[in-house]
Structure 1
Amino acid sequence: MALSCQKDSYLKELNSKVVCCEKAQCQMIINGKKSKINGFEVILEDTILFPEGGGQPYDLGTLNDIPVLKVTRRGDKAVHFTETDLEVSKDVHIKVDWHRRFDHMQQHTGQHLISALAESIFNFSTTSWNLGEKTSFIELDTPEIKDKDLQQLEDTVNEKILAGLSVTPQLFYDKDDPEWKKASCRGLPADHVGPIRVVRIEDVDNNLCCGTHLSSLSHLQCIKLLGGEKGKKGKTNLVFVAGKRVLDYLGRSYSVEKALTPILNGPLDKQVELADKAIKGLKASQKSCTNLLRDLAVMEARLFNMMVDKPPLYSIHRKEGDNEYMNIIATEIEDDTPCFLTTGEEKGSGMFLLCGPPQFLTQAQKKVMELLEGKGACSGGRLRGKANKLSNRSEVEKYLLNLLSES
């Protein structure tokens, strides 16, 4: 059986009957982490909520106002996952998240159009595609796409949209029907059951597809090809946006341009040049600062070495310092004087280095790491690592001075 969402992708609401409702767990990504949620798997007689497949994500929506968190395919059935159970044999009212659905329809139909024209014009076959949250990409079987070819493809794609060509799903109930075999396809899924669905773009493409699609290319509005990126070996990922995503992308780009204009002190057509100049200037400044920091480390160590009455511990904190700064001081300090060096935020986290005679390091290591809430290791006569509590720096100094006075 073909689902109602596949027969008419523009249906926003539908009544259907609950066939099955069973307890289950569903693995989902929540705040970037995989989590298992307890709930129920609900199978209906029919649905307008598309189950994930064909490169298209699943729909979201509600069953009697109960949120559907995920929809998957099992044979020719759609399995809806909810956190609330539903009574078997009872009717439910289904609503689809139309904003999400229509966006998916635009991107999916856009992919079919781009893929068909990329193959007919340049013989670039599509090997896979990905419908992302903000942009999508088509994996093309070519190592590169030249700029002039990209422009030609984009122009042709938008000409077809302007012509408003029809997009129609066709169902073939006989697997031996020779007509569906004329359509482009990479083969049916191993667990496929039910009718075979072909999506036809007038005078452009016939392609096996289970996903939801527009009824006219005019509903695509427009497509912007954002460029080709290196994909798998010998492949190119063609990044694109279709429909409302073009407007969203333009809006984000304008916001960035508007924000950069006062920062770079120049209009859009000069911003790349100005940004390049600013980065080169920054790198030159960073190099100068690094050299000055090295010279400062040497001078600070030499000033200590020149002291007549040296303290038993050389201790210094420099917020802007780095590992190289600390290593230079530790190397330049004479007479094996123990050194306690730190960099970073005085009341926060940073880096530390402790050096001195082997026995001193062995005795001090555990307590210093404890006070600094540090993580690190001892090698080459130096204990170094990350300090998470530099606010305890003065306590470490007192502890080290007491340890030295006892030795």
Structure 2
Amino acid sequence: MRNLLFYQDVMIKEFTAQVLKTGVDGNRPYVVLSNTAFYPTGGGQPHDTGLINDIRVIDVEKVDDEIRHYTEKECNFTGEVRGYLDWERRFDHMQQHCGQHILTAAFVELFDIATVSFHLGSELVTIDLNTEHITDDQLALAEKRANEIILENRPIEIKWVSKDELSQYNLRKEVSVDEDIRLVIIPDYDYNGCGGTHPTSTGQVSSIKIMGTEKMKKITRVSFVCGNRVLNQLAMRKTVLSDVSKQLSVPEENAADALRKVLLSAKATEKALSEAQDTLLQYEAKELLESGENGIITAIFENRTVQTLQKLGRSIISLQDNAIALLVAQNEDKIQFIAARGSNIEISMKNVSSEVLPLINGKGGGNDAFVQGGGEKLISAQELLQHMIKQVIK
């Protein structure tokens, strides 16, 4: 492994090699070369992409003892070929991976909190910390320490060692292999076994910014970005903030307070509207009670939510203990209903729903006093209501 080009010279962007083998794995054509600068997926780091001659490499994997370069179309290469790395992608991965080492070491150094897993995504990088709780102050201090290490532009050293030599190094965690052990070292700061690619100095990481945290069972997931991704995130947030401030007609620095006031006003308006709607439903319930026959209140509506039907049904039976409310609404391609009884009625509303749900291929729920359901518009609202009435009368 140590003789592979991506380990010999991590900054190599182009190379030549001999074709050893071509083949097809399932429906994926691949090429095996005598040596390669294409890094295969592994150790939390995604694979490289690029070109072999003029054919695009879309995936790289280590399969047994060979590194397969999967190409977007079948190729019949022989002899010598030239490889070209997608350098922007590779350098981004190097920045993020090295930044992860630096930030992880900062949490260990400052708070003795270990990282239990790491993921390098296309937009964010995450580490899972072995703790249920982390404070904003701890996050800020870890980020500050990590950026100090970057600004010091410390060299990043690579050493291949034997298992017997490991005791000479203060490793952050135990290595998982017994031979071809590769150490990535930031002198006097971090010593770690790793097979990934890293820049040659911490300064090339440029910067680290923690973006957020998420609690997950007994661990805390920390999301962050490094290098050019910091600039990308800053640009995206700047665009969003500028748009919000323009819509609120305030300077960017006042956007948060202005948005908070808008949300508070919207909540107050929403509450007042809800109260007004409830009052109107009470009046509507009284009108429906007056039009009912034999204590059965029925109505069909267009484009009303089942939540509104539920409120209206409860209003009806709260006004009349001997009433039964059967309400149906048709909304585009759906049909919904509720069936409710007053406290003096013993008929089970579950019998109503079990009767009509199969007619609309529907689902529902509730209890003996109140049920609701909905399904496909396989019959008309009037037909559904008639089936509900028949079940009540029966």
Instruction: Tell me the TM-score normalised to structure 1 length.
Output: 0.76
Alignment match of 1:324 (pick from 287, 310, 319)? 310
The residue that corresponds to 2:85 in the other structure is 96
Question: 1:99, CA displacement in angstroms?
Answer: 1.9
Question: 1:42, CA displacement in angstroms?
Answer: 4.0
* Percentage of pairs with the same residue: 28
Unaligned 5+ runs, structure 2:
342-346
Contact 1:293 1:325 in 2 (8 A): no
Q: Which amino acid aligns with 2:14?
A: E
Query: 2:171 & 2:354 partners in 1: Cα distance?
Result: 71
**CA offsets 1:49-100 (integer angstroms, 9 cap, x no match):** 2122222122223334333333233455423334544448644432222222
Question: 1:320, CA displacement in angstroms?
Answer: 6.0
The residue that corresponds to 1:105 in the other structure is 94
Question: 1:377, CA displacement in angstroms?
Answer: 5.7
Alignment match of 1:155 (pick from 144, 155, 161)? 144
Question: 1:259, CA displacement in angstroms?
Answer: 2.0
Alignment match of 2:193 (pick from 186, 197, 208)? 208
Q: Which amino acid aligns with 1:281?
A: S
**CA offsets 1:191-231 (integer angstroms, 9 cap, x no match):** x76x3222222443332211111112222222223355434
The residue that corresponds to 1:197 in the other structure is 182
Query: 2:146 & 2:369 partners in 1: Cα distance?
Result: 67
Instruction: Map 1:33-48 onto structure 2 (within 5 A).
Output: 38-48=27-37
Contact 1:60 1:97 in 2 (8 A): yes
Query: 1:166 & 1:258 partners in 2: Cα distance?
Result: 39
Alignment match of 1:275 (pick from 259, 262, 277)? 259
Instruction: Map 1:346-357 onto structure 2 (within 5 A).
Output: 346-347=331-332, 349=334, 351-353=336-338
Question: 1:379, CA displacement in angstroms?
Answer: 5.5
Pair 265,4 (structure 1): closer, same or farther in 2 beyond 3 Å: same
Query: 2:110 & 2:366 partners in 1: Cα distance?
Result: 63
> In angstroms, what is the RMSD of aligned CA positions?
3.8
Instruction: Tell me the TM-score normalised to structure 2 length.
Output: 0.79
Alignment match of 2:283 (pick from 299, 309, 333)? 299
The residue that corresponds to 2:344 in the other structure is none
Pair 88,302 (structure 1): closer, same or farther in 2 beyond 3 Å: same
- Provide the secondary structure at the position in 2 that maps to 1:133: coil
The residue that corresponds to 1:238 in the other structure is 222
Query: 2:366 & 2:41 partners in 1: Cα distance?
Result: 52
The residue that corresponds to 1:257 in the other structure is 241
Query: 2:181 & 2:167 partners in 1: Cα distance?
Result: 8
**CA offsets 1:174-197 (integer angstroms, 9 cap, x no match):** 444x2685152534445x76x322
Pair 123,88 (structure 1): closer, same or farther in 2 beyond 3 Å: same
Pair 360,285 (structure 1): closer, same or farther in 2 beyond 3 Å: same
**CA offsets 1:374-401 (integer angstroms, 9 cap, x no match):** 5446863766334465xx88x3326756
**Residue 384 (1) aligns with residue 372 (2):** yes
Contact 2:126 2:222 in 1 (8 A): yes
Contact 2:306 2:338 in 1 (8 A): no
Unaligned 5+ runs, structure 1:
26-37
**CA offsets 1:109-152 (integer angstroms, 9 cap, x no match):** 11122223333344333332222222222333444444444333
Contact 2:282 2:312 in 1 (8 A): no
Query: 2:310 & 2:50 partners in 1: Cα distance?
Result: 56
The residue that corresponds to 1:114 in the other structure is 103
Query: 1:82 & 1:154 partners in 2: Cα distance?
Result: 39
**CA offsets 1:314-343 (integer angstroms, 9 cap, x no match):** 222354662532532663697766733227
Contact 1:18 1:87 in 2 (8 A): no
